[in-house]
Amino acid sequence: MIRGKCDECGGKIVAMKTDFSLFGVSLGKFPAEVCTKCGEKVFTEDVSDEIDKVAKEKGLWGLGVKTTVGKVGDSLDIRINRRIADFVGLQKGQTVLVHPEGKNKIVITT
């Protein structure tokens, strides 16, 4: 069943197939209810399960993790777990570019 209005902005909802990406990797197109005003996408439970399945198959499941910031000398230290390192091909001794993107995001480019 399609909701009449968007929960977020009250915009019109249409049913359509939409691209779904996780960590910049496309998982394919999935049926969703999409708000024509704000772009909010809502997937049914079945579709969410399907997306989870594809994410697991592609090795993307659970790549977003919480980590605690440590301290080494004057610098702060953030541990990157093995799965994320493997996903991006990061290795010890490698030089990476670290820069802020806005006030609440740090980007590490390999």
Residues at the contact surface with Zn ion, assessed by CB under 5 A? 6, 8-9, 11, 35, 37-38, 40
For residue 45, give both structure tokens.
């439970």
Cβ contact 70:78 at 8 Å:
yes
Give the residue with the Cβ less far from Zn ion, 9 or 16: 9
Give the residue with the Cβ less far from Zn ion, 8 or 77: 8
Give the residue with the Cβ less far from Zn ion, 40 or 52: 40
For residue 15, give both structure tokens.
């049913």
Residues 6 or more apart in contact with residue 56 via CB below 8 angstroms:
none
| Shortest Å, Cβ 1 to Zn ion | 18
Question: In degrees, to the nearest 5, what angle opens at C-alpha 62 toward C-alphas 24 and 94?
Answer: 65
Report how far Cα 61 is from the mean position of its chain's Cα atoms. 10
Give the residue with the Cβ less far from Zn ion, 7 or 19: 7
| Shortest Å, Cβ 27 to Zn ion | 22
| Shortest Å, Cβ 63 to Zn ion | 28
